[in-house]
Every structure is written in structure tokens, then in C-alpha cells.
Amino acid sequence: MGKVTIKDVAKKANVSVTTVSNVINNSGRTSPDTIRKVKQVIEELQFSPSASARNLRDKSSHLIAVVVPFLEKGRLQDNPFYWQLVLGIEEGARNHQFHVILLGVDEEENFSFVSERHLDGLIVVGTFEGTPILKQIQALDVPCVFMDSYMSEFNLYQVLLDDEMGGYLGTKHLIGLGHQRIALLSGKLQQNGVNYKRWLGYRRALEEAGLPYDPELVREEPVSTAGGYQASQYITDPRMNITAVFVFSDVGAMGLIKGLHELGVHVPRDISIVGFDDLFYTDYMIPSLTTVNQDVIERGNIAVRLLLDQIVGESRDDARKVVLPVSLKVRKSTGPAPNVQSAP
Amino acid sequence: MGKVTIKDVAKKANVSVTTVSNVINNSGRTSPDTIRKVKQVIEELQFSPSASARNLRDKSSHLIAVVVPFLEKGRLQDNPFYWQLVLGIEEGARNHQFHVILLGVDEEENFSFVSERHLDGLIVVGTFEGTPILKQIQALDVPCVFMDSYMSEFNLYQVLLDDEMGGYLGTKHLIGLGHQRIALLSGKLQQNGVNYKRWLGYRRALEEAGLPYDPELVREEPVSTAGGYQASQYITDPRMNITAVFVFSDVGAMGLIKGLHELGVHVPRDISIVGFDDLFYTDYMIPSLTTVNQDVIERGNIAVRLLLDQIVGESRDDARKVVLPVSLKVRKSTGPAPNVQSAP
DNA sequence: CTGAAAGCGCTTACAG
DNA sequence: CTGAAAGCGCTTACAG
């Protein structure tokens, strides 16, 4: 029975393919009667136009790709954060009649698929400045939006979080509870990177409270579940006098709490913990996790909008970066600093 | 500078487009010299053939879609399980030069995009028997593989888990610890569905141990994080005498443990919990979760292979269903039944 | 308001 | 071993 084409429709409706095409795209001038007839035949024949043929003509595919670089093994597998991000992107794209290709790439990837498939745009998730992948992407000259990435170049399109504020809020919360020795599990502090911004917020909160900044309290090891777990050793070093830890990811915070638990350290009685992301399960951790909330799905939606702005050509140069607000979700993993508690 | 086409290559290499095409697809007979020359020009011009043009000719897109039905709100957002599944699929597809479109669909979706884009195949994740979506997909007549779905029709391609064994292993483990009143948070027990199979395993283990089957112990409410949490009420009903719970998802188990914790019930001292999936974070829960392990990434890989078998036409009818093994990961959420413990 | 025709970039018989 | 030509299914000037 083979695919039905525009020709079949034209024949059955007794019109030209031009007219059928016009009806489909409601372009040109067509009489209401003809439109009705053609539409009916389209319905009868269950005709739907071939995307390949259109792409070939239009040099556009209505296809965007979510590019997920596999930089560190396991980094992406581990974090459910990305699933939500991708769902948000898919949702946004669908609302605009775009489809999204999901693509894992490694260092040696060549991006020929972009021109081969006439991709209309790319959303790049979780990459770093200065990686070969980034250079390749930039050479591509295709609309692009970066998410959860570490880009300082100011002319790139990005959907960001108010990371500085996140760092500030979490730290301020802890200070308000009387904590003075607040450790940071920050991940790599790359200039202008996400973690760097959060770190700035941390410093601002300290300064505002008149507390000294001690670089010894900051750990730049990458924060995965396992990383957080291992950090428990360092955190409980008695010479450090740490009473609170701000971990820049919820998965890291979960690992840390587990590690502390095994060392017999009670959260929050002995040590308070703040996370970052507000993953779906943080409310179900024991204790439930105080963390910095972000709307991940919304982020995905906005990334698509930003990409489509470029594709459709309405590049509003004033809004290359969209910064989303954060808020602090206070739960049970934070409490008064031990010395304060025993004061009265 | 516009896209470079096969014509440009032909001209620069002083050959016909036919020859260039032959070199690209190494079809036909071409002299080694010509091949070398053409390849060099391709390199120089950075030529990569247009997928749209190819698709138009070949009626094939080298594109498959992962279809994710939004049946219950939140069901998919919640479970990081799907992220791993999709990563496995992507990885498998990439290894075979296919790209994958990620697509959320709701009840009213029409699947015209399949023919429009000449999709080569579909992987359908997490759907149920008898849904309108399923009917539509089956009417499509496109290669298809179902995952994490509830299909009894025996002629469908599916990647399954040895669910019966999973149910058996978890239950047997609990029985071995002296538990006799073992509750099930099973989700819907649809005939031949995933949960049904697990339930069969549960029954087999009971029978083998000479324990009675009590339908009152089985709860069919859907098991999400919140669902597990709420179930804590029922589980602790003193009339039930429950000392262990088998939850058919890790997210549900997490919710339940949280709920029990808030009721002052200690896991595993008072109640033992077994989960299902072995999500990445189960080792970091407090207590760490005893659960049924499955290799999700591998499942994705196999789904792609099964799909490609159909697409390439090597349908080996003997293997429409691939059943993957499960194993039990014993951790700290299970322990001796209270009465046994106090026996000696 | 409607239609004939060119062209998008490929591949594949077919001829030589 | 190589090339001219048809055709995949659309859309868009262009002419009427």
C-alpha cells in the first residue's frame, strides 16, 4: 500500500499538487471550496507530508539535538537531574513542533551529523570551557544554547541559575543557625563557572556576617554520590571544627550524609548539611535535605525558547542569558550549631 | 558559504556525481586512484552527504524514536530509572549509526510523525496493555520494541526482566530471615504484567516455604515515592502483624522507609524492606536498601539490537522476547524477623 | 484562484 | 571503470 504522497491527494481531489501544497501550508490563495475538498481527501487518504522531502527543500529539519558530553564517566548516568532537564527540553520542543534527538558525545566525536541532518539547533548540556567538544560546536555555526555548563564567553546563549544567590542563601541559612565553620564541597571552582558563582555567594554571606573566610574549608573534588561519601573523613577531622557543610549537589549531599552516618555523626545534631538542586527524592531522605531549589523542567522549557528565538531569527541580543531564580527549601538536615545549642 | 554538495565534490575531483556516490557508499567498481582522489576532495571540502536527500530516496531515516507515554502524571519524571534506560538506548543506537528521537506522548497523540519522518523503528517505554496509544502504535506497522511495559500479546518484541525470579528471590531472602507476614507494595497486578510476574514469584517462594498466602498483605496502589510513604500507615497496622515489606520499586521503598521512620518504626529491626531496581542511590540510603538488581543500561542496548534486527530484516522469530536475569543485592534494610531475634 | 515546472541532494539502474 | 539521467516528495516562484 506504500506511502501516500501529495500526488495521490492531488489526483483524487482533481487539483494540482501546487494547490494541495498551498492548502497544507495555507499559503497562496485558494477558494474555500477547494480547501474543503482537499482537506477531506487528505483526511480520507491519511496523508501526511514527508519530512525528508521538506527538509531537502527547506534546509531545515525541525529537529534539534540535546548534546550530552560524556566527559567524566558516570557523571551523567548518576544524576537524575539530567532526566528532568531532558524532559523539560522535550516538552518545550514538542510545544513548538520540533523533535529532539538525544545524543551522547565523547571527546573524539565529530559533529558532521549536524549538517548531515540539517539540525536546526543544539542544546548542549553539562560541558566545560576549553574542551575540544566545545570548540567543535562553536565552529559549527549553528544556533546553540548551553545548559548546566561552564562558559564565561559572554556572547553565548545560556540558561543559568542564580548560582550566586543559591550559594548566598544556603550559607546565610547556616550562619543564621549559629554555624561559623562552614565547609564547602564545591566541585571544581572554575572562573565564572557555576560552582565559582556559588562560592562567591558563600563568601558574600560570610563577609556580611563578619565571619572569616578559610580556604581550608573548601574542597574542590568533584561531587558525586561517592565523592560526598568519601568527604565524610575530611569533614569530621577534629582539627577542622566543622559544624556545617554546604554541598553543591544533592547527590553529593546524600553521599556525605551516608558517610557521616557510618562514622556515627548525627545530622543535623552534630553537623548540618545543605544540598543543591532539590531532586525529587530529597524530601524522602533521612533526614530530609535542606537544599537550594531550582525548577529544572522550566529550565528545559526556557532553553528551547532561547534556541527557537535564534532559529526563527528573532534574536533579541539583550537576552542571551536567562538567569532563573533559586529558593531555599529548609528541611531537617540543618539545625542549630552545637555550641549554640548548649549555650543557654 | 552554503552547504557543499556532492556536485561540488564531483566538479573539483573531475568525476561524475555517480562516481562520488559510489566512493562514499563503496558500491560499484571504482579504480583505486579515483577513490583516493575523491576521498581527498571530500576531505578538503569537508563534505558530508545530506541525510534528507538520502532519506527521501531510501525511505529510511536511520532514526528511531523512544516513545515515553505520559500516562500517570509524574510517573516518569520521578524515576531516574528512565534516564538510565534512555542512555542505554542512545548508546546502543549510536553504535549502529542510528540517532534517537526522544518523544513524550499523551493519550491524544497521533503518530503521524512516524511516517512523516520515515522513522525506522520505535522503542516504547512504560506503557500498558489496552491503552489507546498502544492501539495506535500497533496500527502503524513499524518495527517496535516494548520496554518496561505490560504486554501479554506474545508476538510483540520485548525486553523483559526475569520478574518472576526477582519476586521469588526477594521473598525467599525475607523468609530465610524468619519473616512470615510479608507485605507486598506491588502496584497494579495486571495479568501477565511485570508486577503480576513478580507476584507469582512471591507466591512461589511462600508456597515453597509452606507459608500461607494472604491477599490482605498485597497492596496494588501504584508505587511512587509518595505512594510508598503513605503506605507506612497500613504497614504498621498492628492487626496485620507485618514484619517485612517487598516494594516493587526502589523509589517506593524509599518513601516507605521515610514514612516508617516518622512513625518511629526502625528498619530493619522492626520491619525489613526489599526494593526493586537497584537505583544508583540505594547504596547511599539509610539504611542501605536490599533490592533486586537489574542492568538498565544493558536493557537499553538490547532493546536497540532487537529493534535493529527487525529493521535490517533479520527477524529471528525465536527471540521476540529477551529476558534479562536479575540478582538480589543484600544490604542493610533487611534483617531477622523480630520474633526470631528474640527467640534464643 | 489554479497549475506546469524547476529544483532541493542524493542513489541507482542503465548504457557505454 | 565511468557517466547521463530519472526519480524520491515536496515547495515556490512564475505565468495565466
Q: Is B113 on the interface with A (CB under 8 A)?
A: yes
Q: Is A164 on the interface with B (CB under 8 A)?
A: no
pLDDT at residue B145 in the model: 93
A151 Cβ neighbours under 8 A, 6+ residues apart: A129, A134, A158
Cell 506504500 sits at which residue? A2
Mean of the pLDDT values across residues B255-276? 96
Q: Considering only residues B151 and A309, tell me which one the structure prediction assigns the higher pLDDT.
A: A309
B160 Cβ neighbours under 8 A, 6+ residues apart: B194, B321, B322, B323, B324
Contact present, B183 and B235 (Cβ < 8 Å) = yes
A2 Cβ neighbours under 8 A, 6+ residues apart: none
B284 Cβ neighbours under 8 A, 6+ residues apart: A225, A229, A254, A255, A258
Q: Give the span between the Cα atoms of A34 and A153, in whole angstroms.
A: 54
Highest mean pLDDT among B27-36, B92-101, B171-180: B171-180
| Strands across the sheet containing A158-161 | A321-324, A158-161, A144-147, A121-125, A63-69, A99-105, B99-105, B63-69, B121-125, B144-147, B158-161, B321-324
Q: Give the span between the Cα atoms of B115 and B60, in whole angstroms.
A: 10
Q: How many CB atoms lie within 10 A of CB A338?
A: 17
pLDDT above 80 for B74: no
pLDDT in tens, A278-302: 988 999 999 999 999 998 888 999 9
Q: Give the span between the Cα atoms of B161 and B153, in whole angstroms.
A: 16
Provide the total of helices (H) and of strands (E) in chain A, helices listed first: 14, 12
∠ CA A85-A87-A91, nearest 5°, is 120
pLDDT in tens, A192-231: 778 999 999 999 999 999 999 999 999 998 888 999 999 9
pLDDT at residue A73 in the model: 54
N-term to C-term CA, chain B: 85
* The C-alpha cell that represents A216 in the structure block: 581550608
Q: Is A56 on the interface with B (CB under 8 A)?
A: yes
Q: State the alpha helices, DSSP H only, in chain B.
A: 6-13, 17-24, 32-45, 51-58, 75-78, 81-95, 112-116, 132-140, 163-176, 194-208, 225-235, 250-262, 296-312, 338-341
Q: Is A103 on the interface with B (CB under 8 A)?
A: yes
pLDDT at residue B342 in the model: 44
pLDDT in tens, A7-64: 889 888 888 889 999 898 888 778 888 888 888 889 888 888 998 899 888 888 899 9
Mean of the pLDDT values across residues B24-52? 87
* Closest Cβ opposite residue A284 in set B103, B115, B254: B254
pLDDT above 70 for B72: no
Q: Give the span between the Cα atoms of B314 and B96, in whole angstroms.
A: 15
Q: Which of A67, A260, A280 to mutate to test the interface with B (most CBs of B within 10 A)?
A: A280
Residues touching nucleic chain C (CB < 7 Å):
A 14-19, 22, 28-31, 33-34, 53, 56-57, 59; B 2-3, 5-7, 17-18, 21-22, 24-25, 27-28, 47-50, 53-54, 56-58
DSSP string, A113-167: HHHHTT--EEEEES-BTT-HHHHHHHHH---EEEES-B---TTS-EEEE-HHHHH
Whole-number mean pLDDT of chain A? 88
pLDDT at residue A71 in the model: 59
Q: Give the span between the Cα atoms of B76 and B9, in whole angstroms.
A: 47
- Composition of chain B by helix, strand, coil, percent to 5: 45, 15, 40
| Strands across the sheet containing A272-277 | A218-219, A182-185, A244-247, A272-277, A290-293, A327-329
Q: Considering only residues A117 and B82, tell me which one the structure prediction assigns the higher pLDDT.
A: A117
Mean of the pLDDT values across residues A326-344? 81
Q: Give the span between the Cα atoms of B120 and B114, in whole angstroms.
A: 8
pLDDT above 60 for A72: no
**Domains in chain A with CATH codes:** 6-49 (1.10.260.40), 63-161+296-324 (3.40.50.2300), 163-294+328-341 (3.40.50.2300)
CA–C1' gap, B22 and D1, in angstroms: 12
CA distances from B326 to B212, B278, B329 (A): 26, 10, 10
DSSP B157: -
- Listed by number, the residues of chain A in 256-295 with a beta carbon closer than 8 Å to a beta carbon of chain B are 257-258, 261, 280-281, 284-286, 288
pLDDT above 50 for B292: yes
The three-class DSSP label of residue A321 is strand
What residue of A is the nearest CA neighbor of B46?
A112
User: CA neighbours within 13 Å on the CB side: how many for A301?
Assistant: 7
B28 Cβ neighbours under 8 A, 6+ residues apart: B18, B22
pLDDT above 60 for B341: no
Nearest nucleotide (CA of B116 to C1'): D9
Q: Give the span between the Cα atoms of B172 and B202, in whole angstroms.
A: 8
Mean of the pLDDT values across residues B241-246? 96
Cell 520496554 sits at which residue? B147
CA–C1' gap, B193 and D1, in angstroms: 60
Q: Give the span between the Cα atoms of B93 and B100, in whole angstroms.
A: 7
Whole-number mean pLDDT of chain B? 88
Confidence band, pLDDT 50/70/90 cuts, at residue B29: confident
pLDDT at residue B238 in the model: 93
Mean of the pLDDT values across residues B276-302? 92
pLDDT above 80 for A2: no
pLDDT above 90 for A180: yes
CA–C1' gap, B97 and D4, in angstroms: 32
Longest dimension (CA), chain A: 92
Contact present, A284 and B225 (Cβ < 8 Å) = yes
pLDDT at residue B168 in the model: 98
pLDDT in tens, B141-199: 889 999 877 677 778 898 989 999 999 999 999 999 999 999 999 998 887 778 999 99
Q: Is A115 on the interface with B (CB under 8 A)?
A: yes
